[in-house]
Copies of this chain bind each other. A is one copy, B any other.
Amino acid sequence: MEYTSIIGYVAAFCTTASFIPQVLHILKTGQVDGISLQMYTIFTFGVACWLTYGFIIRDMPMLIANLITLILACSVLGLTLWKRMR
């Protein structure tokens, strides 16, 4: 594999997987005070647009990466809303 592709895959892996520790952090600590709801609302919408874009241009890596990110971002958004409403 070309080194440029490796950098791309590492980039995609990191920006997608990074949301896992955020979800776990909320589940473990129950703390959501520092999290911006506005950020996750805009971000989730943006990732949904990337997913749509990936679907239209039929780019499988883009589709998979953004589907996983969408699930994780929705989890952060949902958990934050749920904790704030209690």
A33 near B29 with CB under 8 A, answer yes
Identical chains bound together, number: 2
Per-residue CB contact flags for chain A residues 34-59 toward chain B (1 = under 8 Å, else 0) read: 11101111110111011011001100
Prevailing SS type, chain A contact patch? helix
Q: In the bound complex, how far is the Cα of B8 from the Cα of A17, in angstroms? A: 22
Interface size class of A (residues with CB under 8 A): 35 or more
Contact A46 to B10, CB < 8 A, known contacts A25-B39, A33-B34, A36-B21 = yes
Q: Are B52 and A39 in contact (CB under 8 A)?
A: no
Interface centre among A21, A26, A57 (most CB of B within 10 A): A21
Q: Do B7 and A53 touch (CB < 8 A)?
A: yes
